Structure 1
Amino acid sequence: MANTAELRSDTAPFLDVSSPDFSIRSEEVIAAREASWYAKTPYGIAILRYSEMSRLIPSRKLRQGSYAWPAHNNATGTFADWWMRMLLSQEGAEHGRLRAMAAPAFAPELITSLKPKFEALANELIDAFEQDGRCEFMEAFAEPYAARVVLTLIDLPHDNWREFADIAVEMGLALGVTYKQDMDRINAATDRMFHYARQVIAERRSKPLGADFLSSLIRAQDGGANPLTEQEVYDMVVLTIFGGIDTTRNQLGLAMDTFVRHPEQWALLRQRPELASAAVEEVMRYRPTVTWVTREAVDDFEFQGLHIPKGCTIHMFSQSAGSDPRVHENSGFDITAERTRRHFGFGGGIHHCLGHFIARGDMTEALAILSRRVLNPRFDGEPSYLPDSGNTGPIQMPIAFDRAAG
């Protein structure tokens, strides 16, 4: 990994993203964005503005940057092996093959067909706490909804959703600074997740294939000029479960957090439920769970007068770019705003999130139903949060609310 000192400019601001107190929404970051389009960090550079991020994120001069995370931590075992094999860590022709073969499983038509199930699930969860007029939102709604949406997608019973959620949390320790010391727990959880992946594929193969997610993956193994291998099918199932639970849970929590702080927008959503889809996009621009994406330079190149050496790590601050006043005259939270620039909540370029149709579909249904049944939500105690950088979200969020009449 190249270090910022190798860059030819030393006039840019410095942001210590390694500090436990660092916040990507801080005044420090806003000031840095006003001073420069990039900042130096202990791990390469950070891109702060929308225009530069929109040009760099699809650049073929960069590759996905987190592939080397296990190696940076001297980590080994099942998680590290999977991390290096999976779609997100591949580039070039191999990435294109995996993405093309897996894409039919994430088709928008499939997600549309599942929306009634998402709606029923949201109503079922709200039924359990509505009469109380309060709940711990992450435990009562965000986490079970995220986990059970994934189980719906892969057609598994919902009885053991908690186990899947807990496995995802254990695997997620690999993305933190304690990866090495938690390696045994992480690998054990990954082994359990692969056990389930093999089990669900074997069970699905025992029946006639249909138009569902797993059938699409199995067809991608059985046909085509460049089919998926058996291992690649398992890898894709594990990625879908792990990624789907963690990111949806956090993004729903951040959505509720944002609406609690903007009650007029929540009231507007209840009056105009057709805005639910726009609300998802606005939340992901304003308060994304993935606050930056990482790339790595594959060779030396120049960008806007800056020399970027081969191997330099480039953190693209989607949170900062999404609120950049240079492209958003009104960068505040507004679900009615007609945004002409897309947000980076699902990444961009060839590594744009393959599961974005699923995330958009399930969150749209959740917000529409929550706004109809959970009125005037407010904090009912102090929320707690993951660090406000990298992948973030609420840990706990107690809320109180008014029940809808009737």
Structure 2
Amino acid sequence: MSDLAAYDPWSAGFVADPYPAFAALRADRPVFFHEPTGQWVVSRYADVDALLRDRRLGRTYLHVAGHEEFGREPDADFLKPFWDLIRAGMLDVEPPVHTRLRRLVSKAFTARMVEGLRPMIRALAEELAGALAAGGGGDLVAELAEPLPVNVIAEMLGVPAEDRPLLRPWSADICGMFELNPSEEAQRTAVRAAVEFSGYLRGLARARRDVPRDDLISALAQVVDEGGDRLTEDELIGTCVLLLNAGHEATVNATGNGWWSLFRNPGELARLRADRALVPTAVEELMRYDTPAPMFERWVLEDVEVAGAVIPRGAEIALQFASANRDPEVFADPGRLDLARDPNPHIGFGLGVHYCLGAPLARIELAESYGALLRLAPGMRLAQEPEWKPGFVLRGLKALHVEI
């Protein structure tokens, strides 16, 4: 099979193990145009790093050109509620709008506030890990990886406990839109979830604006910068949806993928069990070794040259984070899991102006969940080999069954 044919993001085999294909691409075709997706694929660390920082690329092109100018079809009318919601947050906008939104959100979503959540996160992680241990095992994804981040974000936002079961389905349905070439059914499902979720949050935000509480929605509703600027209601809603989607889906995958990596590397798992002080560096290495969000897309706003290839304005680039994180030019013996790897400049959280705002929260959640399982289920072992979900843009396991 050729290097180009080996890159097949819809193939179950590729999703399960994309790394041999990435190694071949980095060596022989580090930049190429992929006809099935209509994207330029970039696989080397140096190129991905440079393009993430290059302002000639953007998450969107709508601030500089219309769809027709970029050779794209206009959004279907039925997608308007979805894109209105997504483009009200900071993920799919560029400076100066992105700069303004990030500045305002950062005033409420502070490092001090995030660190203050650690005791709550630890208690929740121990409750979930304890229940898994008491039951003699189960599906680690469903019983710990999924409920931990969704409950943390719900607690942070101020979503009442009785409403929290709504959040995970909404998040999963919305994120289905970000896979490559989603079906019309997936698109309509995402629109329905966007309408329901934004409607729910709008009611909650208005209640918090009238009667503030000690939660992030109240803080976002009240935040004002030195010039008197504040978030609009739509921007507040878009921000809350982004915090849930970005902070939940990737963290679920990072937890499941991480434990699957540990089970496949029993020597490193034994090392971690013997020295729990390795947890912080283990979190970074597990993010590098099997990146939960392996690909991010950018639009080319001005022609760029990458590894000798000229990529024209209007093109879309697929930046392969998972490949970059296994590049031997940056990481010694990149296919080896080393929980004490230092330095470890992985790009699992991105780089540049779109660097993940929730990275500190994700690191705390992962560290506390690994720590809780190491303490309360020290003998945890794999019960059966897992299957991967079909998506590649958000890459994770369907389930991870363990025994204790």
- 1:193 maps to what in 2? 197
Shift of 1:335: 1.2
String of CA shifts for 1:341-366, please: whole Å, max 9, x gaps: x2111111111111112111111111
Q: In the alignment, is residue 106 of structure 1 matched against residue 97 of structure 2?
A: no
Q: Which is worse superposed, 313-322 or 188-197?
A: 188-197
- 2:370 maps to what in 1? 367
Q: Which is worse superposed, 98-107 or 369-378?
A: 369-378
Contact 1:136 1:396 (C-alpha < 8 Å) held by counterparts: yes
The match for 2:48 among 53, 57, 68 is 53
Shift of 1:164: 1.3
The match for 1:318 among 317, 321, 333 is 321
Shift of 1:203: 3.2
- 1:4 maps to what in 2? none
Contact 1:15 1:39 (C-alpha < 8 Å) held by counterparts: no
State how far apart, in whole Å, the 2-side matches of 1:383 and 1:157 are. 33
Map 1:8-157 to 2 at 5 A.
Answer: 13=4, 16-17=7-8, 19-21=10-12, 22-23=14-15, 25-42=18-35, 43-64=38-59, 74=76, 76-157=79-160
Shift of 1:30: 1.3
What root-mean-square deviation, in Å, do the aligned CA atoms of Structure 1 and Structure 2 show? Answer: 2.5
Q: In the alignment, is residue 391 of structure 1 matched against residue 382 of structure 2?
A: no
Contact 1:62 1:297 (C-alpha < 8 Å) held by counterparts: yes
Q: In the alignment, is residue 181 of structure 1 matched against residue 185 of structure 2?
A: yes
String of CA shifts for 1:194-225, please: whole Å, max 9, x gaps: 12212332332343565x42233123358744
State how far apart, in whole Å, the 2-side matches of 1:239 and 1:312 are. 25
State how far apart, in whole Å, the 1-side matches of 2:9 and 2:263 are. 30
- 1:162 maps to what in 2? 165
Taking structure 1 as the reference length, the TM-score comes to 0.87
State how far apart, in whole Å, the 2-side matches of 1:90 and 1:104 are. 19
Contact 1:66 1:295 (C-alpha < 8 Å) held by counterparts: no
Task: Name the CA shift for 1:365/1:66 in 2 (closer, same or farther; >3 Å).
Answer: farther
Identity level (%): 26
Q: Secondary structure at the match of 2:378?
A: strand
Contact 1:14 1:40 (C-alpha < 8 Å) held by counterparts: no
- 2:298 maps to what in 1? 295
Q: Secondary structure at the match of 1:296?
A: strand
Contact 2:88 2:239 (C-alpha < 8 Å) held by counterparts: no
Contact 1:385 1:395 (C-alpha < 8 Å) held by counterparts: yes
State how far apart, in whole Å, the 1-side matches of 2:366 and 2:260 are. 14
State how far apart, in whole Å, the 2-side matches of 1:130 and 1:28 are. 38
Contact 1:144 1:161 (C-alpha < 8 Å) held by counterparts: no
State how far apart, in whole Å, the 1-side matches of 2:288 and 2:79 are. 35
Contact 1:106 1:358 (C-alpha < 8 Å) held by counterparts: no
Q: Which is worse superposed, 112-121 or 150-159?
A: 150-159
Matched to 1:40, the amino acid is F
Which blocks of at least 5 consecutive residues in structure 2 are unaligned?
none
- 1:3 maps to what in 2? none
Which blocks of at least 5 consecutive residues in structure 1 are unaligned?
1-10, 402-406
State how far apart, in whole Å, the 2-side matches of 1:158 and 1:223 are. 35
Shift of 1:192: 1.8
Q: Secondary structure at the match of 1:393?
A: coil
String of CA shifts for 1:72-95, please: whole Å, max 9, x gaps: 774513212222332111112111
Q: In the alignment, is residue 380 of structure 1 matched against residue 396 of structure 2?
A: no
Q: Which is worse superposed, 380-389 or 94-103?
A: 380-389
Matched to 2:47, the amino acid is E
Matched to 1:318, the amino acid is F
State how far apart, in whole Å, the 2-side matches of 1:33 and 1:66 are. 28
Task: Name the CA shift for 1:17/1:350 in 2 (closer, same or farther; >3 Å).
Answer: farther
Shift of 1:388: 6.4
Contact 1:167 1:190 (C-alpha < 8 Å) held by counterparts: yes
State how far apart, in whole Å, the 1-side matches of 2:178 and 2:85 are. 13
Task: Name the CA shift for 1:166/1:208 in 2 (closer, same or farther; >3 Å).
Answer: closer
Map 1:205-220 to 2 at 5 A.
Answer: 205-208=209-212, 210=214, 212-220=215-223
String of CA shifts for 1:139-188, please: whole Å, max 9, x gaps: 11111112111112112333443221122222223223444223433222
State how far apart, in whole Å, the 2-side matches of 1:232 and 1:380 are. 44
In the alignment of these two chains, the number of paired residues is 388
Task: Name the CA shift for 1:116/1:143 in 2 (closer, same or farther; >3 Å).
Answer: same
State how far apart, in whole Å, the 2-side matches of 1:356 and 1:49 are. 23
Task: Name the CA shift for 1:86/1:15 in 2 (closer, same or farther; >3 Å).
Answer: farther
Q: Secondary structure at the match of 1:329?
A: coil
Q: Secondary structure at the match of 1:117?
A: helix
Q: Secondary structure at the match of 2:159?
A: coil
Shift of 1:39: 3.1
State how far apart, in whole Å, the 1-side matches of 2:270 and 2:346 are. 24
